[in-house]
Structure 1
């Protein structure tokens, strides 16, 4: 594959994180692909911006345009995965492929209860305490080269209630029918909550497949960064070969 053929990639982070979540993937892929990672509204450098899926869609679209290579492969994790589904629906001409990571669970009906409960609890705990808990958890579970950029970027706890309030009740497998590009559903094997509807999501799209990362949990790109990156790389090469 030549540099001209390489598929551009935009990475979209998960709940409370920022573009720093993808530091390992960007470092591993940038020699072969044009890559970018965004801060969603209310996160990272956009911490002061109000959350909305409409704003998230525009941010992803701007990142695709900034690479100046045409439609991009968008890789979305958790909240970022649902935002990427919204982008796929409203900006199909800018999408070459979609990786849904930890975002193949319905947010409708009774399945939404855990998200709703978490969103209600977060404002009851101080941001300082939540930051300490998150820092300790990430450092205990993952090596510093994987999580240091995320820790340095801080956390968007203040945005979590608004973000999940908009996502809850909005997405199920039917959202896949609005995606015009090929889809890789990339989940951690042990992420039982956010992969609970992966089979339904895959069946709803004619060019979707599921790939599991062994022993990985919800933060699969932290648990197994090389395996996660390799899966994205292979999918991007498939997209280029299929053009």
Structure 2
């Protein structure tokens, strides 16, 4: 793979986090690929911007354009995965490939009940208390080089209800039919909730496959940064060969 063949990569973070979530992957991928991580509306540097899927799609599209290398491989985690599915539907000409991680569960019907409960609970807890809990949890589970960028960027608890309020009821395996590019569903082996629909998601797309990160949970890119990054790298190289 030459520098001109390497697909650009855009990384889209999950619920409450920011572009800082991808610091391990940015450091590892930028030698081989043009790569950017975005802040979704209401998150990180865009904390004051109201959430909407329209705005999220525009942000991803702008990041693809900023890399100036044509269609991109978009990697979306959790909330960012569903935003990436919306981007794939609206901007197919800008998508070279899609990695969904922690985002292969239906957000429709009975599956949405736990998400609605969490989205309703979070606004009732002071944001500073939630931030302290998150800081302690991340520092207990992961080494500093993996999570400090996320902790420094803060958390978007004020956006959780609006974001999931729009996502809930909107996405199921049928969303895969609107994705024109190849898809890798990259899940943590132990992420049973957000893996729940992965077989249906794969069956709904003619060029999709599942890869699991052993012993990893929902935050697979934190649980095993090297394995996660290598899976993205392999998929990117596969896209380069296909083109």
TM-score by length of structure 1 reads: 1.00
Shift, 1:17, TM fit:
0.1
Partner of 1:159 in structure 2? 159
| Gapped regions of structure 1 (runs ≥ 5) | none
Shift, 1:240, TM fit:
0.1
Shift, 1:192, TM fit:
0.3
CA distance in 1, matches of 2:31, 2:120: 42
Q: Look up the SS of the partner of 2:113 in the other structure.
A: helix
Q: Is structure 2 residue 216 aligned with structure 1 residue 216?
A: yes
CA distance in 1, matches of 2:172, 2:138: 29
CA distance in 1, matches of 2:241, 2:145: 32
Partner of 1:181 in structure 2? 181
CA distance in 2, matches of 1:209, 1:167: 23
Partner of 2:138 in structure 1? 138
Partner of 2:93 in structure 1? 93
Partner of 2:190 in structure 1? 190
Shift, 1:73, TM fit:
0.0
CA distance in 2, matches of 1:139, 1:184: 29
CA distance in 2, matches of 1:183, 1:227: 18
CA distance in 1, matches of 2:92, 2:58: 13
Partner of 1:69 in structure 2? 69
Partner of 1:110 in structure 2? 110
Would you identify which runs of 4 or more consecutive aligned residues in structure 1 move more than 3 Å?
none
Q: Is structure 2 residue 33 aligned with structure 1 residue 33?
A: yes
CA distance in 2, matches of 1:181, 1:4: 20
CA distance in 2, matches of 1:25, 1:8: 13
Q: CA RMSD in A?
A: 0.3
Partner of 2:16 in structure 1? 16
Shift, 1:105, TM fit:
0.1
Partner of 1:125 in structure 2? 125
Partner of 2:43 in structure 1? 43
Q: Look up the SS of the partner of 1:211 in the other structure.
A: strand
Shift, 1:14, TM fit:
0.0
CA distance in 2, matches of 1:210, 1:170: 22
Shift, 1:2, TM fit:
1.1
CA distance in 2, matches of 1:3, 1:31: 10
CA distance in 2, matches of 1:79, 1:181: 20
Work out the number of aligned pairs and report it: 243
Shift, 1:207, TM fit:
0.2
Shift, 1:214, TM fit:
0.3
Partner of 2:235 in structure 1? 235
Q: Look up the SS of the partner of 2:76 in the other structure.
A: strand
Q: Look up the SS of the partner of 1:174 in the other structure.
A: helix
Q: Is structure 2 residue 72 aligned with structure 1 residue 84?
A: no
CA distance in 1, matches of 2:117, 2:142: 27
CA distance in 1, matches of 2:94, 2:4: 17
